[in-house]
């Protein structure tokens, strides 16, 4: 007799009713929510800073090189976007689950 597994190799027909229960996303505790909230604020500040720095990109590209400015600006935007999205998702999940 075998028991159904919940791993990635389990065929869809071997799943139990308990496997289908939706669990709310785990936020990792109150300290994680606080750190992600700080990340949200930092990410938003970076995004606003990038928006204000767009007018300086051509001058920076002439001084430092187009490729370096493009890479730096893209990296900062990626980091800011990740901080903002993760912070918002964590805070939203905490609000929906009733945690404060």
Is 94 buried (19+), middle (13-18) or exposed (0-12) by CB count in 10 A? buried
pLDDT tens across 39-81, in order? 999 999 999 999 999 999 999 999 999 999 999 999 999 999 9
Contacts 24+ apart (CB under 8 A), 12-21: none
Please state the rounded mean pLDDT for residues 10-21: 56
pTM above 0.75, yes or no: no
């Amino acid at each position: 007799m075998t028991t159904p597994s919940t791993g990635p190799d389990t065929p869809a027909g071997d799943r139990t009713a308990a496997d289908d229960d939706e669990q709310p996303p785990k936020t990792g505790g109150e300290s994680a929510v606080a750190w992600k909230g700080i990340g949200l604020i930092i990410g938003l500040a970076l995004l606003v800073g990038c928006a204000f720095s767009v007018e300086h990109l051509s001058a920076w590209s002439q001084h430092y090189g187009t490729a370096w400015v493009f890479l730096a600006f893209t990296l900062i935007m990626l980091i800011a976007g990740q901080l903002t999205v993760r912070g918002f998702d964590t805070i939203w999940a905490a609000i929906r689950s009733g945690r404060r």
